[in-house]
Structure 1
Amino acid sequence: MQKLITTLALAAFLVVGLSASSESRDIWKGGSVYSHYGLGTPYDFRATYADGMGVYGVAMHDNRISSVANPASWSRAVFTNVSGVFEMKSHDATFGTEQVQSTQFQTGPFQMVMPIYRDRMGVSLSITPKTSSRYTTLNDYVLPASQNHSGSDLNYSIENQGSGGINKIEAGIGIRFTRHLSVGYAPSLFLGSINRTQTVSFEDADYRSSNLKESTSHYGFGNRFGLYYSRRDAFRQNDRAAFGLMVSLPVNFVSERSLETRVDFMDVDVRPASEYGDGDATYPLEASAGFSYNINPALQLSTDLLYQNWDNYSNFNGESDPNLQDRFRAGLGGQYIAPRRDGATMFSNFVYRLGVSYDTGNLKLNDSSIETFSIHAGIGIPSSRTNSSIDINAEYGFRGTDSDGLVSERVFGLKVSFNLSELMFIQRRLQ
């Protein structure tokens, strides 16, 4: 009897997507529907002040706030800055008549920027997430009597969960060569793991549940370059125009995959041996270019474009993924920086930000790109005593489509970031 139970548990794993798939229906229980493809959903590390504008921030710079968007901007560091981000993201997914809502909390980029020679050379150390995979699905299946040897249909469910992602530890330097031109370089270590868990549960109490956990770890070394050009009085008096460019080269991952299970599979191979052990994967080329314009010291407009070459991504087995495509993301926004005045109300000293963005996404399913349209808004709350501040940024967007058997998502994100400038730090005076 025990042998029969084990065989049935194994059969449940193997029939997924085969004969039983026609009798099943996927139900998304939490997380992002689309984060189980590839390495997960790409995470855009942006400057905290650019987040509320919907842009990447590659052509922006603020002496009081650190930024990971462009290594060249670190050359303009005047103060020692430390920043960190806390994020809440809510997904409201619609699939046919089904609707599922979930909320996730996570920390975002952490960065420290220090001037070596003030406004001429600066260094940065940061930890940033690159991808995130978080989802839960529940699928109901029926194993026909002819396939389970019990004389009757066997009902069971399979719950799939995903977690993990890729993170980047980066150290770099920015150098200003001329009054207007700066360049930067940052080597980095990419590392992380993607975890997949599958649990099979049977309606019949005579059959025990089974659990399969697959973990794939990755690490690799990256290189990122930046250029930043800024000129005051570019078109009119008291204005400033800036152009930024960032290129991150492809990263070759050293990967390892392991399998853990509570089921004794005996002599049956669940998956080919080539899918376990050591492998290679490739994280794609990434580039961003942007332009910002300060009409006056209080009003700034910015736009930029992000490109990721996911079409050349290769998975653990060195194979391309037909569900992935090159990704383009465009953003446009502005901010109003209220001048500080003694005796002014608290709200009159805030920084107000607003913007929009469009993202083609890196997924193409059923001939449909999983696009995202978002509206962004934010406020900056400066300290009255120091150069430190708190940024609160919100995003509301629409991702995907409910046609062609796909899932439509409404995404709401809220980020709170702290920016410590000089507070608890000693200014460097090497210049």
Structure 2
Amino acid sequence: MSLFSSRGVVWSGVLVVLLFLGSAGPVHAQSNGDGSIYSRFGLGTLQDFSSSQSQAMGGGAYALRSLNYNAMGNPALWSDQIFTRLSAGVGVQRIAASDGGNPTSYLSSGQIEAVQFSFPLYDQTLGVGLSFQPYTQRNFRTRKNGRLDLQVSPPSSSDDGVAEVPYDVNFRGTGGLHRFRGGLGYRVTDFLRVGASADVVFGIMESKRSTEFGNVPIRDVTTSDRVRLVGVGGTVGAHLALNNVFQSDDAFSVGGAVMLPTTLNGTRVLTLAEGSPIASDTLSSVDGDVSLPWRSRFGVAYQPNARWTFTADGLYEPWSTFTTTFQQGGTFARSFPVGGTGTLTDRWRASVGTEVMPAGTDQLAGYLARVAYRLGAYVERMYVRPNGTTDLDTYAVTGGVSLPTSLSGTRIDLNLTAGTRGTTSGSLVKDTFYGVSLHVNFGERWFQERKLR
């Protein structure tokens, strides 16, 4: 295939991604549908995505070197690039939520998982990485029923002047935070690589509470609590690669990255009657900030040969150190939508994964032998405690296939995830979730100087 035609395929992929982004609506409306009730707490459900390869292998792979993927979890790995690479993925998730008593609720949502772009400044020495992806997601919906005693005037002879009026209170959360990351990875020696990035975190989170009285002549009331946040942080990473460790021609890698603490500044606006028959009225508007904790990642990867890869990874975030100035005084202290320290705890995650490509490096093997088959699992201690005391865990298995294409360096990945989140004890909710995602990873050599013979 000619250079022009293959680049045409790459730019066609870029156009498809841009059209998808444009049709997705405003940036704060990152999700479509309903998700876990636990996204109501803290900053919402935390999103972890490094690459489609990593996602199918338990979500870690912070030490895994690859020429076919943008490994955004560790900027030190950007130094290994040969291809200019564009990756994009979308996913959908189905959740069955149960509190152990009422009928199970079924929820569905979809979102863009990541758009990533990277290229080498010097082949396998100095590389650039750029990415845009969700950082948190808030997409819950719940309802509470009640009755209101209403004084009737004048009372009739058949009652005591009090009527019971039924009402519904609907809670709805939307939006979330996004992260734009850009940085460099550099190979110091054949064994050591380092990298760093600047991370811009921004977004809008909104919580609405609507009280509806049905056919009773009482006006429905809606309050909206919206917070807009933005801040700049950073990530630093390192990677150590060793060969011939346990046997001839094997590869053993150790990698880690730390996302530094980040302060987000923003504005919180509380409005009344937005979307109801009476006009909207701004009740309060205050400025404040939110301090995100640091996040550490660490992993090991082992490749005994070109066919097999094994990974083991860990993640830790001290969310118990979370602070915000929005909670100081006034109405906001009672209903701040990003939660308080009483509902947050330290988060950790452990994962393992494996990949097998039967053909190894043989590009002339049959198609199925050149497909990469992946499997993984993870366990996570969630960072929210809705009742302030009960720790919540997530258990999941992952898997996927990576399909080669006629373009060298370009693969299409299909990934699956299934697991459980939370518990039904203590009047809480247990989620059983299933997810599927599709990722396209374009890779091509650019910026090559032609040599005359």
Give TM class, smaller chain: 0.7 to 0.9
- Equivalence map 1:283-294=2 (5 Å): 283-294=292-303
Long gaps (5+) in structure 2: 1-32, 155-160, 329-339
Letter in 2 for 1:322: G
> 1:338 Cα shift?
2.5
- Structure 2 counterpart of 1:346: 367
- Structure 2 counterpart of 1:209: 220
Letter in 2 for 1:331: S
- Match of residue 126, structure 1, among 114, 125, 131: 131
Note closer, same or farther for the CA distance 1:381–1:148 as it changes in structure 2 (3 Å cut): farther
Kept in 2, the 8 Å contact 1:315–1:321? The answer is no
Letter in 2 for 1:359: E
Other structure's SS at 1:145 match: strand
Kept in 2, the 8 Å contact 1:30–1:101? The answer is no
- Equivalence map 1:234-313=2 (5 Å): 234-262=245-273, 276-313=285-322
> 1:114 Cα shift?
0.5
Distance in 2, matches of 1:270 and 1:148, equals 33
Kept in 2, the 8 Å contact 1:281–1:318? The answer is no
Distance in 2, matches of 1:357 and 1:219, equals 31
- Structure 2 counterpart of 1:362: 383
Q: TM-score of the superposition, structure 1-length normalised?
A: 0.86
- Structure 1 counterpart of 2:323: 314
> 1:48 Cα shift?
1.2
1:317-336 Cα shifts (integer Å, max 9, x gaps): 26752111010000011000
- Equivalence map 1:95-114=2 (5 Å): 95=99, 96-114=101-119
Kept in 1, the 8 Å contact 2:271–2:282? The answer is no
- Match of residue 335, structure 1, among 338, 355, 362: 355
- Structure 1 counterpart of 2:28: none
- Note if 1:232 corresponds to 2:232: no
Distance in 2, matches of 1:282 and 1:195, equals 19
- Structure 2 counterpart of 1:165: 176
Kept in 2, the 8 Å contact 1:331–1:356? The answer is yes
Letter in 2 for 1:118: D
> 1:34 Cα shift?
0.2
Distance in 1, matches of 2:298 and 2:364, equals 40
- Structure 2 counterpart of 1:14: none
Note closer, same or farther for the CA distance 1:270–1:126 as it changes in structure 2 (3 Å cut): closer
Q: TM-score of the superposition, structure 2-length normalised?
A: 0.82
- Structure 2 counterpart of 1:413: 435
> 1:240 Cα shift?
0.1
Distance in 1, matches of 2:118 and 2:152, equals 63
Note closer, same or farther for the CA distance 1:400–1:429 as it changes in structure 2 (3 Å cut): farther
Kept in 2, the 8 Å contact 1:55–1:302? The answer is no
Other structure's SS at 2:426 match: coil
- Note if 1:73 corresponds to 2:77: yes
Kept in 1, the 8 Å contact 2:50–2:70? The answer is no
Distance in 2, matches of 1:403 and 1:131, equals 26
Distance in 2, matches of 1:293 and 1:322, equals 41
Other structure's SS at 1:112 match: strand
Note closer, same or farther for the CA distance 1:421–1:209 as it changes in structure 2 (3 Å cut): same
Other structure's SS at 1:208 match: coil
Letter in 2 for 1:97: N
Long gaps (5+) in structure 1: 1-28
- Structure 2 counterpart of 1:36: 40
- Structure 2 counterpart of 1:325: 345
- Note if 1:389 corresponds to 2:389: no
Distance in 2, matches of 1:147 and 1:312, equals 51
Distance in 1, matches of 2:382 and 2:273, equals 37
Note closer, same or farther for the CA distance 1:148–1:120 as it changes in structure 2 (3 Å cut): farther
> 1:167 Cα shift?
0.6
Distance in 1, matches of 2:290 and 2:198, equals 19
- Structure 2 counterpart of 1:59: 63
1:331-382 Cα shifts (integer Å, max 9, x gaps): 0110002226577543222100011100011112342212000011111001
CA RMSD after TM alignment: 2.4
Other structure's SS at 1:369 match: coil
Other structure's SS at 1:404 match: helix
Other structure's SS at 2:54 match: helix
1:174-211 Cα shifts (integer Å, max 9, x gaps): 01001110000101211001111111110343122222
Distance in 1, matches of 2:185 and 2:253, equals 16
Kept in 2, the 8 Å contact 1:116–1:428? The answer is no
Kept in 2, the 8 Å contact 1:45–1:130? The answer is no
> 1:55 Cα shift?
3.2
- Structure 1 counterpart of 2:446: 426
1:241-283 Cα shifts (integer Å, max 9, x gaps): 000010001111102011232279x9xx998x6xx41011111
Kept in 1, the 8 Å contact 2:176–2:204? The answer is yes
Name the % identity: 26
Distance in 2, matches of 1:341 and 1:187, equals 38
- Structure 2 counterpart of 1:82: 86
- Structure 1 counterpart of 2:4: none
Other structure's SS at 2:323 match: coil
Other structure's SS at 1:56 match: coil
> 1:85 Cα shift?
1.1
Note closer, same or farther for the CA distance 1:343–1:285 as it changes in structure 2 (3 Å cut): closer
1:377-420 Cα shifts (integer Å, max 9, x gaps): 11100113421001111110011011110001001111111100
Letter in 1 for 2:235: R
- Note if 1:138 corresponds to 2:138: no
